[in-house]
Amino acid sequence: MFAPELADTVSGFEPADFDFLAEVEANHFWFATRSKLIVGLADKFFPGAASFLEVGCGTGAVLREMLRSRRWDRIAGSELHTLGLVHARTRMPKGVEFVQMDALNIPAVDLFDLTGAFDVVEHIADDEAVLRGLREATRRGGGVILTVPQHRWLWSEADVRAHHQRRYESGELETKLGRNGFEVLFSSSFTALLLPLMAVSRLRARKGGNENRVDREFAMHPLANAVFKAILGCEVRLTLAGLRWPMGGSRVVVARAI
């Protein structure tokens, strides 16, 4: 534990939400397709990477898919909150490393071929400090993959409940990566095909909807979940085939450490 004084405090996230997320992430359309996209991009841009660090791994949903995707010499997950790490530890074999740490103080220098933070940096006021830490942890020529929420006009009570500091505009994260030692290789929106539905949901919430619980944000009918998973699965395949989406609820960026 590198930041025990911050463990399980309400610091960018509600630790109590990990129990619910651990139940829904594996099959929820957004989490499942996002993991496929991240793994696909890692395979496409950094097929030779043998070590990986995920900052803010939560309950380990993405880390588990990365572990299954190839043979790693070293794979590690970090999280500020030990409640998330408890879930992550139960999902992984003993060879996976876990540390409790603050994303603003990553205690690693030139250790990993690939690093990632998936819907993490938007929770942190000084997001560029996190990018600098990721650059220090990443070997020159290695890579980073980031996902963040996109479009300020989508801001709603769901963002407040999630302790978001911001939603990003197109080009914003790319510029910050360039200032902090990375060369952008790939950038696209994600959840593009479902953006109209997402926009309607968020706009309705501004008019008095109750989104003050994480289960209201992610719990849904199984049929709707299956339909949305199929739609986003198609979007992921098109993205990995080379299509770039100008708008979407999220943004995904791949960059090389220079």
- Give 184-201 pLDDT, tens digit per residue: 999 999 999 999 999 998
At residue 5, the 3 state secondary structure works out as helix
Beta strands in 94-172 (DSSP E): 97-100, 112-118, 138-149
**Residue 100 parent element (H or E):** strand 97-100
Q: Which tokens sit at 32? A: 């499942």
Whole-number pLDDT of residue 120: 97
Residues of the chain with pLDDT > 90, as a percent, come to 83
pLDDT band per the 50, 70, 90 thresholds, residue 178: very high
Q: What is the pLDDT of residues 69-108, one digit of tens each?
A: 999 999 999 999 999 999 999 999 999 999 999 999 999 9
Bridge-based pairing state of the strands 138-149 and 250-257: antiparallel
3-state SS, one letter per residue, for 13-25: CCHHHHHHHHHHC
Sign of CA dihedral 187, 40, 114, 6: positive
Is 167:151 a contact under the CB 8 Å cutoff?
A: yes
Query: What counts of helices (H) and strands (E) characterise the chain?
Result: 10, 7
228-233 mean pLDDT:
98
Whole-number pLDDT of residue 209: 52
107-127 mean pLDDT:
97
Is 37:252 a contact under the CB 8 Å cutoff?
A: yes
Instruction: Kindly list the distances between the CA atom of residue 204 and the CA atoms of 42, 158, 190, 228, in Å, as whole numbers in the listed order.
Output: 36, 12, 22, 20
Nearest residue to 45 (alpha-carbon basis) of 114, 146, 110: 114
Beta strands in 138-191 (DSSP E): 138-149, 182-190
pLDDT band per the 50, 70, 90 thresholds, residue 216: low
CA distance 86 to 185: 34
218-242 mean pLDDT:
95
Name the least confident of 12-16, 151-155, 161-165, 186-190.
Answer: 12-16
Sign of CA dihedral 49, 50, 56, 58: positive
Whole-number pLDDT of residue 215: 59
Rg (CA), the chain: 17
Higher pLDDT, 218 or 97: 97
Is 123:12 a contact under the CB 8 Å cutoff?
A: yes
Domains and CATH numbers, the chain: 4-257 (3.40.50.150)
Q: What is the pLDDT of residues 48-71, one digit of tens each?
A: 999 999 999 999 999 999 999 999
* Phi, psi angles (nearest 5°) of residue 219: -75, 135
